Amino acid sequence: MNAKRKLLVLTAGLALAGFASIASAQEVYIPLISKGFQHQFWQAVKQGADQAAKDYKVKVTFEGPETEQQVDKQIDMLSAALAKKPSAIGFAALDSKAAIPLLKKAQAAKIPVIAFDSGVDSDIVLTTAQTDSKAAAALAADKMAEKIGGEGEVAVIGHDQTSTTGTGRRDGFVNEIKAKYPKITVVDIQYGGGDHLKSAEIAKTLLQAHPKLKGIFGTNEGSAIGAGKGLKEAKKTGVVIIGFDSGKAQKDMINDGTIAGAITQNPVGIGYKTVEAAVKALKGEKLPKIIDTGFYYYDKSNMADPKIAAVLYD
């Protein structure tokens, strides 16, 4: 029994050794600690980071917790990344205050920290590569107003109530409507956790509760796809959906007209700029406080535009 177990451990050890050989020392190494890794959005950020790693000849790894609530697991990841004595670190904080002690440790060890996707409340980070969430959602509000003729009832399906992107996009949309379109009312804001199915149920309930509803803003990929699914299942037409981010399902819905259009961030650019900023920091170059990685509105008409197509992901 013991022998069998020993064998198993040995096999595991050998497998690990195989992985280890991929990671050799003595090179510029920049771990990116992200907010997640399995969503297509984060995979696109990773893709940008990998591209920059190739261009600047550095080594990059990419890790993030399974859900965007696991603040403590992200801290463990940051702690393990620091133990590897990296050249610089890219960090997308789930809760920036919780990470301060470790970031101070990085600062003491003279490891430059570059924030990406959302900022950190501290001057330890040299710069932040991110999308301006409020401005991006305000653009969604403008497009919504344009499509529904400047008046009527609209609703928001949010992806969460705690993260800065969740609240920023919600507030950016709602404030823009309030400030510029007095004849439009936001009748309801519900949260589906970015889950397709939950968001679809929410959309159907919204249609039941507000028969005159003219538009829905879905604040991320899952929320927008869910809104589209809900509309299809309820066999309802004439409700304008504005989505956020991309992904194959959302692009298909934009092509078949279920979703009018969506705001896309530039996730590939976020990843690329983060690694680029880290490389610049290592060379001692000065960095701006915020690197705005940009956003665009896209619909059926401009999806194939090379500038847009480059930042959309499947």
Contacting positions for other proteins (CB under 8 A): 1-2, 4-6, 8-9, 12-13, 15-17, 19-20, 22-23, 31, 37, 61-64, 66-67, 69-72, 75-77, 79-85, 95, 97-98, 101, 105, 160-162
> What's the DSSP call for residue 283?
T
- Cα 110 from chain centre: 28
* Residue 79 beta carbon to other proteins: minimum distance, rounded to whole angstroms: 4
- Minimum Å gap between C-beta 61 and other proteins is 5
Tokens of 4: 């069998």
| Shortest CB 234 distance to other proteins, Å | 26
Which DSSP category does 96 fall into?
Answer: G
For other proteins, the closer of residues 8 and 310 by Cβ is: 8
Nearer to other proteins, 54 or 183 (CB): 54
Q: At closest approach, how far in Å is the CB of 9 from other proteins? A: 5
CB 224 within 8 A of CB 40: no
DSSP state of 312: -
Residue 1 or 211: the one with the smaller Cβ distance to other proteins is 1
Rounded to a whole number of angstroms, the minimum distance from the CB of residue 190 to other proteins is 13
Pick the closer one to other proteins by CB: 85 or 183.
85
Q: Which residues contact 245 (CB under 8 A, 6 or more apart)?
A: 41, 220, 221, 224, 262, 263, 264, 265, 267
- What is the nearest approach in angstroms of other proteins to the Cβ of residue 151? 31
Q: Which is nearer to other proteins, 133 or 293 (CB)?
A: 133
Both structure tokens of 292: 């705005």
What contacts 71, CB < 8 A, 6 or more positions away? 94, 95, 98
What sections of 61-192 are H helices per DSSP? 71-83, 100-108, 133-148, 164-180
DSSP-assigned letters across all residues of 45-63: HHHHHHHHHHHHT-EEEEE
- Please identify, using beta-carbon distances, which residue of 16 and 310 lies nearer to other proteins: 16
Smallest separation, CB 161 to other proteins (Å): 4
Pick 21 or 237: Cβ nearer other proteins = 21
Task: Return the number of other C-beta atoms located less than 10 Å from residue 85's C-beta.
Answer: 10
